[in-house]
Structures are given as C-alpha cells and as structure tokens.
Amino acid sequence: MPAILVSATPSLETLTNVENGRYEHVTLHRRHGSATLPDVCLVDMRRAPPDRGQFLSPQLIEAVKATFDRQEQAMLFLNRRGYAPLTLCRACGHRMECPNCSAWLVEHRARQILTCHHCGHHEALPETCPACEAESSLVAIGPGIERVHEEARLHFPEARILVMASDTLGSPSATAEAVRRISDHEIDLVIGTQIVAKGWHFPDLTLVASLMRISGSVGGICAPLSVQCSFCIRYPVVPVVPTSLVRCCCRAIWEITL
C-alpha cells in the first residue's frame, strides 16, 4: 500500500531513504496562495556578542526596536521553560541534578523552585550549596524564557510583552485569549516556547528570533537526536512570519548546522 510522508522537517532517516532511492522525493517550492517565504539572517554572536550576562545580540535588539517603530510585532522563540536550565556552584562546581534521573534541575525563579522537566521532581532553591555548603554561591547558567523576559523588559520597557508557555497558559481558553490579543495587536512582543510554533497566522508579526544554540544534550543528558529535534522545533517558527523578515539569533552559525 503506498504511503505519503508529509513534513517540513523530514528526519535524517527519511532523507537517507530518499538518497538511497527507496523513497520518492517531492518538494513544494512555494507557500500556499500568494504567501512568500521570509528572509532568514544568521547572527554569529562571537562577532556580535551581547553585554555580559545577557543573551540578546545588539543586532537583534536594534531589529526589534525597528520593528516596533514600524508599528509591527516581534517574537522571541526559545524552547526552554523556566529561568535557567542549570544551577551551578561557583565555589566547587557542583551542578544541581535530579536525584531520580540525573538531569539538570531547571530554575523557575518566579516560583523559587528547582524542577526536573523529565520526571517532575522539584525542590526549593537552596541558600547554600548542598555539596560544599558555600553560602550564596549558586548561580543560574544559561537562559530560559523567564530570563529572556527579564532581559526584554530591560531593553524594551515600553513594549507590551506576552509570555507563551505551558507554565503561563494553563488551559485552551487561556491560549485562545493569548492568540486573540496578538491578532488584535494588543501585544508588541511575544516570548514563547514551542507552543508558538503551531502554525499561527499573525498579520502584524514580521520579526521572529530563534535564540540559543542547538546542543547534543537535553538537560545534561546525552541525546543523539537532539540536534535534529531542535531543528525540527525551530523550523516551523519561520512560517509564523507572514511577509518579509526573520532574524535567527543563534550562538554561532555552526551551532545550527546539521
């Protein structure tokens, strides 16, 4: 029985079957109707680094400000819930890990907890390092959307910002209300996880930034297909932009090269 596999981001296994002649490959070169593909720009953050302790490049910040000046909307995409994916002791190097599955505990600063996104374990954020008992030595490493939101408030104090993640949208009605607010231009800047990459159509949203590098691990656990999964999650964000411009702000060009 013939089968048709339809995907904007086919897996490496599927592409290998195409190269070996097992699958026939049909490519769609145009978007539906009169829609055009947006431009994509890669920002090498080794050459244009952000300020110390921050994660948005100067080029991205200027692009967002220019978008607001045109009365248009922007989106920052980062598939990391919480404030930071790793908490580290500056004194001894201890990493806060889940006692059940050894994944890194993610800091959720708004709730003052560390939680495991794999098994659900959570605990209070300690005041001292559990390994060396050093006081005030635990630091957040890397950004989650809470941290990006914090930085966005610093750079765009007048912007109306909406955070879209499973932590902030607890029901279908809340998601529908968020979509309505974006569509009605009650929001200037959307910050979200993969929930924003679901085929939405926002006519005034003309700038999307995909933040951070694609790594070979998830929460400190080696995941051989994580690079492929990261690409498959990021790629659908591009069509959210209806017209002309996308900015991909990544650690470096090579970090999103498969």
Q: What is the CATH number of the domain that holds 52?
A: 3.40.50.300
Residue 221 resides in a domain: yes
Mind listing the pLDDT tens digit for each residue in 174-204? 999 999 999 999 999 999 988 887 777 888 9
Are 168 and 236 members of one domain? yes
Are 71 and 51 members of one domain? yes
Q: Are 246 and 205 in contact (CB under 8 A)?
A: no
The whole-model pTM stands at 0.78
Query: Which pLDDT band, with edges at 50, 70 and 90, does 71 fall under?
Result: very high
Nearest CA to 249 out of 99, 46, 38 is that of 46
Query: Which residues make Cβ contacts (< 8 Å) with residue 71, sequence separation at least 6?
Result: 204
Total tally of structural domains belonging to the chain: 2
Mind listing the pLDDT tens digit for each residue in 111-151? 899 999 889 999 999 999 999 999 999 999 989 999 999 99
| Residue of higher predicted confidence among 28 and 85 | 85
Residue 155 resides in a domain: yes
In angstroms, rounded to a whole number, what is the distance separating the alpha carbons of residues 192 and 155? Answer: 17
Residue 4 resides in a domain: no
Query: Which pLDDT band, with edges at 50, 70 and 90, does 244 fall under?
Result: very low
Residue with tokens 């145009």: 30
State mean pLDDT over 93-100: 93
Are 241 and 189 members of one domain? yes
Query: Which pLDDT band, with edges at 50, 70 and 90, does 34 fall under?
Result: low
Residue 126 resides in a domain: yes
| Residue of higher predicted confidence among 5 and 173 | 173
| DSSP per residue, 160-213 | -EEEESTTT--SHHHHHHHHHHHHTT--SEEEESGGG-S----TTEEEEEE-S-
Residue 70 resides in a domain: yes
Q: Is 235 exposed, middle or buried (0-12, 13-18, 19+ CB in 10 A)?
A: middle
Quote the distance between the C-alpha of residue 31 and its chain's center. 24
In angstroms, rounded to a whole number, what is the distance separating the alpha carbons of residues 105 and 23? Answer: 42
Per the structure, the complete domain to which residue 107 belongs is given by 86-141
